[in-house]
């Protein structure tokens, strides 16, 4: 089983770790784009181009893949249709949607933490209107948080978290993490907001959907390998990845860049 994950940076790690936990024999191809990170600040056409480039690089490196996963809300909004045009029906392409629907089942108030671009998007507004109608929902633009998580700088993370927490109403019962980077610091978000706040993320749902779409491929009888691309070139997991449990879960399976 060969699965490609496409994102600008290490925000993909939570989804990659969830896939690996479910299928530890899968070979994962992590196609990052650090030279153009974050994608949220770019135009839709730029995001489409970067996502396509990352998917093509993973495909070529792997010699074909069984699924392409886009663990990035921005890339899913803008690039999913174009990726599906190019790769489906032969290869399923799985996107990421903020977990507003499951959060709404438990009632409000809800806060949706997203990048500034996603917060402004009609895409997020439609999700709220569709799945959380009648509930109190606060959209929180987490300025700088994805970049802080990418850098793993403790002070930058703390400052960005404090800013987002200050915009979050104190009576919120659930927080939807609308950017996969935020998954990596879920414990710190809970600590900042209080233990009574439930976090809703998409990583495990995306992993489960990926395996459903791939189907029942036989296990390979060996641990899967993790291979990293940065801007289409063989690379290693960024040092910042080791700051987070999801990154540490994958590094033991990482194949040296020189072996690609």
Residues tagged active-site: 72, 179
Q: Is 47 within 8 Å of 25 (Cβ atoms)?
A: no
Report which of 251, 237, 245 is spatially closest to residue 10, judged by C-alpha positions: 237
Q: Return the percent helix, strand and coil in the chain, to nearest 5.
A: 50, 15, 35
User: Could you give the 3-state DSSP secondary structure of residue 174?
Assistant: strand
Sign of CA dihedral 246, 247, 249, 254: positive
Q: Is the peptide bond before 120 cis (omega within 30 degrees of 0)?
A: no
Question: Computed over its alpha carbons, how large is the radius of gyration of the chain?
Answer: 17
Distance of CA 93 to the CA centre of its chain: 14
Taking the C-alpha atoms of residue 40 and residue 118, their distance in angstroms, rounded to an integer, is: 7
Residue 215 burial (C-beta neighbours within 10 Å; 0-12, 13-18, 19+) = exposed
């Amino acid at each position: 089983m060969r699965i490609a994950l496409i994102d600008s940076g290490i925000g993909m790690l939570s989804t990659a770790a969830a896939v690996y936990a479910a299928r530890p024999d899968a070979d994962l191809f992590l196609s990052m784009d650090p030279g153009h990170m974050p994608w949220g600040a770019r135009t839709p056409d730029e995001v489409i181009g970067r996502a396509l480039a990352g998917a093509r690089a993973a495909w070529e490196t792997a010699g074909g893949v069984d699924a392409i996963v886009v663990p990035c809300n921005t890339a899913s909004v803008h690039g999913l249709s174009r990726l599906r045009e190019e790769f489906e029906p032969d290869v399923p392409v799985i996107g990421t949607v903020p977990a507003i629907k499951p959060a709404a089942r438990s009632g409000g108030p809800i806060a949706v933490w997203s990048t500034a671009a996603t917060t402004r998007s009609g895409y997020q507004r439609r999700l709220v209107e569709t799945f959380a109608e009648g509930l109190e929902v606060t959209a929180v633009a987490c300025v700088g948080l994805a970049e802080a998580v990418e850098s793993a700088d403790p002070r930058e993370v703390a400052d960005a978290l404090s800013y987002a927490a200050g915009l979050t109403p104190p009576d919120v019962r659930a927080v939807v993490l609308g950017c996969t980077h935020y998954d990596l610091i879920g414990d710190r978000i809970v600590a900042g907001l209080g233990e009574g706040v439930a976090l809703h993320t998409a990583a495990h749902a995306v992993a489960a959907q990926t395996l459903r779409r791939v189907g029942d491929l036989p296990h390979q009888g060996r641990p899967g390998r993790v291979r990293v691309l940065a801007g289409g070139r063989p690379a290693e997991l960024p040092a910042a990845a080791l700051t987070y449990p999801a990154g540490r879960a994958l590094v033991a399976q990482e194949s040296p860049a020189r072996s690609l």
